Amino acid sequence: MSIKDCKIIDIPKITDPRGNLSVIEGSVHIPFDIKRVYYLYDVPGGSERGGHAHIELQQLIIAISGSFDVILKDGFETEKFHLNRSYYGLYVPNMIWRELNNFSSGSVCLVFASTFYDEADYIRDYRQFLRKVGESKE
Ligand code: TYD
Reference 2, options 94, 83, 122; nearest CA is 94
In angstroms, what is the span from residue 120 Cα to ligand 1's centroid? 12
Fold assignment, 3-137: Jelly Rolls (2.60.120)
Rounded to two decimals, what is the model's pTM? 0.96
Return d(Cα 123, Cα 55) in angstroms, integer.
7
What percent of the chain has pLDDT above 90?
A: 96
* Run of H or E including 129: helix 126-137
Domain ranges of the chain: 3-137
Q: What is the pLDDT along the chain (138 residues), one digit of tens a residue?
A: 899 999 999 999 999 999 999 999 999 999 999 999 999 999 999 999 999 999 999 999 999 999 999 999 999 999 999 999 999 999 999 999 999 999 999 999 999 999 999 999 999 999 999 999 999 877
In angstroms, what is the span from residue 111 Cα to ligand 1's centroid? 11
